[in-house]
């Protein structure tokens, strides 16, 4: 027996005899072998008794709590059994309960959706967008439009005619003074009418929602924009009075012809202040909000008057006026002032140029500015016409609703920009703001990187299945052609070859080259070589400009010079911008140009062939035919064209070699006014170019006025032409009086040879 047990039995009977007896019994039964001595020391016995008491209390407490809970549950169930529902009452109760749950979930969802909208407000500069008042000039110094607003010069709303306010409300938002920012009744009516017509025939946006779009958002037609628009409209209603909202809308809304606000529109269309417009003129102005370009009286007077008649009908229907009050306006429709022939405003370009102006003028503390831009209005007209001629007849059969075009010189000066089919219908600039998958037009960046890493156009590669992280690219015709040269692979737009090349040279090297070119958002991954990264048409075309100029970095630009009201130059591109850097070896660029020349001459871009000069470029088609690109260049212009849909809906198999290439071809024919075109690095001169250079050289020898005539054909600024004409006249007189003149210097010879862009730049500065 253990020592502790023997000591236990040797103890005398005491008050703890009962404990010892129990312990002995436990030992005999085998539950314990011994008990520690400390339990039987003086003062420790009471401690063991307290532990047992504690255990007892815990057991009783747990039992008491459990008993209480059972009794409580029985009482609770008995009480609520009185409210037991059956039949219709139960159904109603369940519906209310579920409705309450859905309401809570909806409120949480709305809060999540509202946060991005409120972040736009937090920027704090949304009212400052109209701080600048900018007059924009074309490359020749002719005024082409205005942007921005000076609020101090705007007409107070109390001074505007009552019939103008009523005309706007009757057409845009009849319940403006009664709704909370969203016209529920008007929205429901528009939904019903659109469903009946199986299309969009009515808009349901309130005036507050339209103002929210103007102040904070773009015109891109997406669900995300509509959600933000609704929240921002409610915010405006809670922070501004109705009159203030109306004032902001009348000052900011675009009304065609480059005019923003009713005061600018009244001056443009009627040559008077908005304070003085009559009812017929007010109706015509109110009709412009729906589609400023379509209903502009300068563009289509009969359609503008028909729209004004609809506005008068709306005023009578809304109860704002009687038929007798509007009768005089029907008999005597508004007569706009005559702006002369050739009225044309490059709206998309002006928006972009205005944004560039604000960026360049920021911090200079000048707000009334005159800006000389790069745009050529003749080229702009040809660009718009080329897009319209191809897009309009193909909208339905090809299921394509939008197109964009950007044309620039080899140094990035944008000469023409088409941001969409109709600026009045949507001010979203698809040439600048939209980011799309470029498809195969991305491949030249891959091939350039391959050329830098030892490959040549004649290098043999194999078109066969390639796997990258369980993904395998497919060719357009789902076939593999076996061994071929890099040049042929690019011309035929094979998909497997660039994927293989990217693995061979490294994805990161390709991304590094795209960043050198100014392309944003390109990430190294398996699908990147076939153009799955999203790029804007403007930056993508600027990337190709580096190929056309021999490998120099190009940043597309719209602003040449900015002057304040005192005539002081606060920005000059020549002085304030760094010189363009050589970012690629001209030898590699020449090889790439040879390959891209084959794309046009014998590859997928044959529809872009020009019969007066050699060109280079690349076609591209996005996934599921959602986007179609062609970007190409001559020795004078670099032009990119895109076709697709705003909602990313697939087209009817539109490829880059079809509509985009045809549009590019039609525009470039009209854009080249002279055949004295520079040579593309790596490509030979076209026979017509050679003949043109011979002709110019002969004219230079036989006729001093040939310099003036050639520059006139290329549409130099009038003041430059007059100056050159005077110089040639004086030189002729000097020759007659003093003998032959000295041969021209290299700089002058370059100007004579046709470097008209450089000459125009010097004259403007």
Confidence of residue 557 (pLDDT cuts 50, 70, 90): very high
- Dihedral in degrees, nearest 10, Cα atoms 572, 573, 577, 583: -170
| Length of the chain measured in residues | 765
Distance (Å, whole) CA 133 – CA 592: 45
Q: What are all long-range contacts of 23-27, with beta carbons under 8 Å and residues at least 24 apart? A: none
- Same domain, yes or no: 332 and 205: yes
Distance (Å, whole) CA 429 – CA 219: 9
Give the pLDDT mean for 668-689. Answer: 94
- Same domain, yes or no: 341 and 452: no
Domain boundary residue among 483, 505, 534?
A: 534
Reported as a single tens digit per residue, the pLDDT across 359-396 is 999 888 888 899 999 999 999 999 999 999 999 999 99
| Neighbour tally for 9: CB within 10 Å | 10
The three-class DSSP label of residue 678 is coil
Among 172, 237, 356, 487, the active-site one is 172
Number of helices (H) and strands (E), helices first, in the chain?
Answer: 28, 12
Confidence of residue 28 (pLDDT cuts 50, 70, 90): low
In a domain, 548, yes or no: no
Give the pLDDT mean for 387-408. Answer: 96
Confidence of residue 338 (pLDDT cuts 50, 70, 90): confident
Domain of residue 748: give its range.
703-764
- Same domain, yes or no: 333 and 446: no
In this structure, are residues 415 and 376 in contact, taking their beta carbons and an 8 Å threshold? yes
In this structure, are residues 147 and 136 in contact, taking their beta carbons and an 8 Å threshold? yes
The three-class DSSP label of residue 561 is strand
- Same domain, yes or no: 207 and 318: yes
In this structure, are residues 333 and 305 in contact, taking their beta carbons and an 8 Å threshold? yes
Closest by Cα among 60, 56, 35, 55 to 45: 35
In a domain, 653, yes or no: no
Measured in degrees and rounded to the nearest 5, phi and psi for residue 223 equal: -65, -35
pLDDT of residue 98: 84
Measured in degrees and rounded to the nearest 5, phi and psi for residue 30 equal: 90, 10
Q: Is the pLDDT of residue 662 over 50?
A: yes
| Angle in degrees, CA 667, 433, 360, rounded to 5 | 95
Handedness of CA 572, 576, 580, 583 (dihedral sign): negative
Domain boundary residue among 494, 513, 534?
A: 534
Confidence of residue 123 (pLDDT cuts 50, 70, 90): low
Among 206, 407, 426, 440, the active-site one is 440
CATH of the domain at 279: 1.10.3810.10
Annotated catalytic residue 172: yes
- Same domain, yes or no: 168 and 297: yes
In a domain, 175, yes or no: yes
pLDDT of residue 343: 52
User: What total number of domains does the chain contain?
Assistant: 4
Residues 6+ apart with CB under 8 A from 45: 16, 19, 39
- Same domain, yes or no: 208 and 336: yes
- Same domain, yes or no: 295 and 165: yes
> Token pair of 315, please?
């005023």
Distance (Å, whole) CA 281 – CA 297: 11
Measured in degrees and rounded to the nearest 5, phi and psi for residue 567 equal: 85, 5
- Same domain, yes or no: 324 and 200: yes
Q: Is the pLDDT of residue 202 over 60?
A: no
In this structure, are residues 302 and 272 in contact, taking their beta carbons and an 8 Å threshold? no
In this structure, are residues 454 and 505 in contact, taking their beta carbons and an 8 Å threshold? no
Annotated catalytic residue 440: yes
CA distance readout (Å), 646 to 86, 204, 430: 53, 20, 9
Distance (Å, whole) CA 107 – CA 741: 85
Lowest mean pLDDT among 170-184, 211-225, 661-675: 211-225
Residues 6+ apart with CB under 8 A from 291: 422, 424, 425
In a domain, 334, yes or no: yes
H helices of 656-745, in order, are 659-671, 687-702, 706-713, 718-738
In a domain, 65, yes or no: no
Q: Is the pLDDT of residue 741 over 60?
A: no
> Token pair of 223, please?
């669900």
What is the helix (H) or strand (E) element at residue 137, kind and residue range?
A: strand 133-137
Distance (Å, whole) CA 344 – CA 244: 33
- Same domain, yes or no: 339 and 448: no
- Same domain, yes or no: 337 and 220: yes
Residues 6+ apart with CB under 8 A from 306: none
| Neighbour tally for 644: CB within 10 Å | 26
CA distance readout (Å), 114 to 103, 187, 202, 217: 16, 20, 26, 14
> Token pair of 685, please?
């001169």
pLDDT of residue 190: 67
Confidence of residue 200 (pLDDT cuts 50, 70, 90): low
Measured in degrees and rounded to the nearest 5, phi and psi for residue 354 equal: -65, -40
CATH of the domain at 446: 3.40.710.10
Reported as a single tens digit per residue, the pLDDT across 7-21 is 444 444 444 555 556
In a domain, 23, yes or no: yes
In a domain, 121, yes or no: no
Give the pLDDT mean for 702-730. Answer: 57
Q: What are all long-range contacts of 730-735, with beta carbons under 8 Å and residues at least 24 apart? A: 731/704, 732/704, 732/705, 735/704
Radius of gyration of the chain (CA): 39
Q: Quote the mean pLDDT of the chain.
A: 82
Lowest mean pLDDT among 204-208, 342-346, 400-404, 637-641: 342-346
Residues 6+ apart with CB under 8 A from 735: 704, 741
Reported as a single tens digit per residue, the pLDDT across 75-114 is 888 877 777 777 777 788 788 888 888 888 877 777 776 6
Distance (Å, whole) CA 577 – CA 411: 13
The three-class DSSP label of residue 174 is coil
Reported as a single tens digit per residue, the pLDDT across 575-593 is 999 999 999 999 999 999 9
Q: Is the pLDDT of residue 33 over 70?
A: no
In this structure, are residues 405 and 417 in contact, taking their beta carbons and an 8 Å threshold? yes
In this structure, are residues 457 and 486 in contact, taking their beta carbons and an 8 Å threshold? yes
pLDDT of residue 218: 65
Q: What are all long-range contacts of 695-702, with beta carbons under 8 Å and residues at least 24 apart? A: 696/752, 696/753, 696/754, 700/752
In a domain, 14, yes or no: yes
Give the pLDDT mean for 263-274. Answer: 88
CA distance readout (Å), 432 to 260, 331, 345, 509: 21, 45, 18, 26
> Can you name the residues that pair with 631 across neighbouring β-strands?
618, 640
- Chain centroid to Cα 62, Å, comes to 68
- Same domain, yes or no: 188 and 314: yes
Distance (Å, whole) CA 334 – CA 661: 43
Q: How big, in percent rounded to 5, are the helix, strand and coil portions of the chain? A: 55, 10, 35
Lowest mean pLDDT among 121-135, 458-472, 687-701: 121-135
The three-class DSSP label of residue 283 is helix
Higher pLDDT, 19 or 227: 227
Lowest mean pLDDT among 115-124, 306-315, 564-573, 673-682: 115-124
One-character DSSP codes across 596-657: HHHHHHHSTTGGG--SSS--EEEEEE-GGG-EEEEEEE-SSEEEEEEEE-TT----SS--TT
Distance (Å, whole) CA 16 – CA 405: 105
Closest by Cα among 55, 45, 48 to 15: 45
- Same domain, yes or no: 340 and 457: no
Domain boundary residue among 289, 321, 345?
A: 345
């Amino acid at each position: 027996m253990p020592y502790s047990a023997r000591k236990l039995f040797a103890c005398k009977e005491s008050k703890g005899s009962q404990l010892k007896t129990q312990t002995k019994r436990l030992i005999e039964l085998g539950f314990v072998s011994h008990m520690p001595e400390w339990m039987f020391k003086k003062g420790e016995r009471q401690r063991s008794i307290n532990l047992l008491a504690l255990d007892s209390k815990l057991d009783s407490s747990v039992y008491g709590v459990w008993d209480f809970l059972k009794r409580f549950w029985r009482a609770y169930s008995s009480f609520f059994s009185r409210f037991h529902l059956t039949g219709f009452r139960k159904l109603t109760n369940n519906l209310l309960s579920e409705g309450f749950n859905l309401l809570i979930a909806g409120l949480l969802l709305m809060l999540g959706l509202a946060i991005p909208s409120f972040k736009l407000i937090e920027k704090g500069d949304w009212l400052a967008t109209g701080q600048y008042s900018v007059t924009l000039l074309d490359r020749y110094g002719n005024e082409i439009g205005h942007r921005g607003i000076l609020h101090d010069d705007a007409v107070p709303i109390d001074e505007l005619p009552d019939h103008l306010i009523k005309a706007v409300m009757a057409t845009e938002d009849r319940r403006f003074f009664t709704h909370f920012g969203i016209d529920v009744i008007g929205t429901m009516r528009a939904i019903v009418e659109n469903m009946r017509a199986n299309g969009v025939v009515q808009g349901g946006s309130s005036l507050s929602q339209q103002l929210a779009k103007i102040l904070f958002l773009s015109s891109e037609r997406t669900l995300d924009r509509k959600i933000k628009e609704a929240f921002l409209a409610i915010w405006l209603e809670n922070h501004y009075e109705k009159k203030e909202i109306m004032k902001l809308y009348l000052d900011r809304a675009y009304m065609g012809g480059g005019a923003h606000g009713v005061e600018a529109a009244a001056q443009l269309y009627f040559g008077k202040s908005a304070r003085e417009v009559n009812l017929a003129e007010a109706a015509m102005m109110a009709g412009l909000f729906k589609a400023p370009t379509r209903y502009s009286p300068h563009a289509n007077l009969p359609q503008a008057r028909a729209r004004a008649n609809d506005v008068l009908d709306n005023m009578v229907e809304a109860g704002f006026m009687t038929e007798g009050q509007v009768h005089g306006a029907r008999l005597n429709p508004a007569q706009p002032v005559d702006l002369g022939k050739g009225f044309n405003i490059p709206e998309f370009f002006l928006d972009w140029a205005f944004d560039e102006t604000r960026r360049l003028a920021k911090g200079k503390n000048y707000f009334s500015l005159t800006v000389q831009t790069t745009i050529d209005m003749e080229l702009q007209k040809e660009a718009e016409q080329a897009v319209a001629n191809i897009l309009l007849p193909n909208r339905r059969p090809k299921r394509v609703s939008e197109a964009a075009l950007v044309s620039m010189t080899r140094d990035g000066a944008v000469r023409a920009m088409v941001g969409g089919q109709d600026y009045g219908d949507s001010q979203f600039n698809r040439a600048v703001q939209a980011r799309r998958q470029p498809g195969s037009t991305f491949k030249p960046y891959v091939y350039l990187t391959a050329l830098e890493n030892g490959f040549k156009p004649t290098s043999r590669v194999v078109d066969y299945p390639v796997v990258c992280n369980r993904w395998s690219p497919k060719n357009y015709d789902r076939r593999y052609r076996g061994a071929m040269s890099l040049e042929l692979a690019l011309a035929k737009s094979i998909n497997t070859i660039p994927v293989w090349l990217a693995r061979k040279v490294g994805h990161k090297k390709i991304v590094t080259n795209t960043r050198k070119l100014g392309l944003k958002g390109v990430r190294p991954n398996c699908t990147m070589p076939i153009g799955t990264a999203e790029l804007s048409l403007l930056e993508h075309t600027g990337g190709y400009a580096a190929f056309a100029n021999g490998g120099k970095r190009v940043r597309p630009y719209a602003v040449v010079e900015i002057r304040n009201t005192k005539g002081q130059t606060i920005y000059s591109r020549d002085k304030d911008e760094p010189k363009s850097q050589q970012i690629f070896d001209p030898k590699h660029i020449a090889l790439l140009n040879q390959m891209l020349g084959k794309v046009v001459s014998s590859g997928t871009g044959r529809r872009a062939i020009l019969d007066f000069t050699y060109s280079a470029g690349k076609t591209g088609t996005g996934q599921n035919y959602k986007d179609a690109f062609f970007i190409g260049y001559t020795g004078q212009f670099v032009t990119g064209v895109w076709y697709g849909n705003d909602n990313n809906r697939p087209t009817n198999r539109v490829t880059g070699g079809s509509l985009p290439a045809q549009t590019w071809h039609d525009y470039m024919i009209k854009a080249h006014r002279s055949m004295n075109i520079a040579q593309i690095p790596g490509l030979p001169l076209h026979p017509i170019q050679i003949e043109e250079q011979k002709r110019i050289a002969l004219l230079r020898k036989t006729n001093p006025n040939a310099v003036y005539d050639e520059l006139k054909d290329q549409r130099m600024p009038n003041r430059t032409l007059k100056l050159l004409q005077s110089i040639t006249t004086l030189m002729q007189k000097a020759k007659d009086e003093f003998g032959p003149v000295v041969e021209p210097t290299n700089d002058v010879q370059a100007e004579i040879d046709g470097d008209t862009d450089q000459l125009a730049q010097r004259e403007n500065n």
